[in-house]
Amino acid sequence: MPITNEGIEQRRKTVATDSREIAFWGTFGYPMAWAIVEDEAACLRIGGIPYHVQQGFKLNERTVAAWQCVESLQTSRELGLNRFVTEQPPYNLLDRRIERELIPMARTCGYGLIPWSPLAGGLLTGKYQRGEKAPDDARFSGREDSDRYNEHIFYVTEGLEPLVKEKDCTMAQFALAWCMHQPGIISPIIGPRTMQQLEDNLGALDVEITDEDRRKVDELIAPGRMVSPFYEADFGPHIYRT
């Protein structure tokens, strides 16, 4: 849904005029060019927003294919609009498919990547064990038929256990540290439900990932591969141009 004038006006009244904000789009339900033209134009039409704040108003995409990011840059350049500067893809040790095209595109075109689900919906926390019932409070409890919760994930998680033990950290901390130190990544998005989970997540800041660690990870799940599908962008051509 396009951003409304009322929403932008309300937001303008609640933030300092010298702030720099990123507008996050949840998804693209309509052509990308219109997402930029209609929504950003609505933002910049609002009276009373200083020019320097308009210039600092940046845009974020979420879970799109690399070609769609490039198209948005072309459209922004052609129409003289602010460009998208960040992208929110899913990225974790169970799904590395953004390494094929999205990360190279981001590093080439100046996109920052802010990945969601770095813990693969909890599959990388150590709470799931092969042959055991999922904990009652776990996300995949009762969802054993999910494409994401499958036998293949355990080849990765069980292979990570020696690395986790060697570093004296939790599996969640290792997974977060690996993600945030990958090329092109600005910061992974975490979603703790409890203070204990938050404190555990923050412990990832103290975990060092070495080149040898990356090599061992690559042996468990090769770059660009996946065993649990999270990156489900629209990889096909533009629906209005074929």
pLDDT digits (tens, 9 = 90+) for 159-208: 999 999 999 999 999 999 999 999 999 999 999 999 999 999 999 999 99
Structure tokens at 7: 């929403």
Does a structural domain hold residue 41?
no
Does a structural domain hold residue 171?
yes
Does a structural domain hold residue 154?
yes
Does a structural domain hold residue 214?
yes
Categorize the per-residue pLDDT at 37 as very low, low, confident or very high, splitting at 50, 70 and 90.
very low
Does a structural domain hold residue 5?
no
**How many separate domains does the chain show?**
1
Does a structural domain hold residue 19?
no
* Distance of alpha carbon 240 from alpha carbon 242, whole angstroms: 6
- Asked if 238 contacts 31 with a C-beta cutoff of 8 angstroms, the reply is yes
Categorize the per-residue pLDDT at 80 as very low, low, confident or very high, splitting at 50, 70 and 90.
confident
Structure tokens at 147: 């494409």
pTM of the model: 0.80
pLDDT at 150 over 70: yes
Query: Residue 116 to residues 41, 67, 131, 171, 209: CA-CA distances in angstroms?
Result: 28, 20, 28, 17, 20
- Asked if 143 contacts 190 with a C-beta cutoff of 8 angstroms, the reply is no
Does a structural domain hold residue 134?
yes
* Distance of alpha carbon 90 from alpha carbon 242, whole angstroms: 28
* Distance of alpha carbon 123 from alpha carbon 63, whole angstroms: 20
Residue 158 domain boundaries = 121-185+193-229
Does a structural domain hold residue 220?
yes
Q: For position 21, what pLDDT does the model report? A: 52
Q: For position 52, what pLDDT does the model report? A: 34
Average pLDDT of the chain?
80
- Asked if 20 contacts 56 with a C-beta cutoff of 8 angstroms, the reply is yes
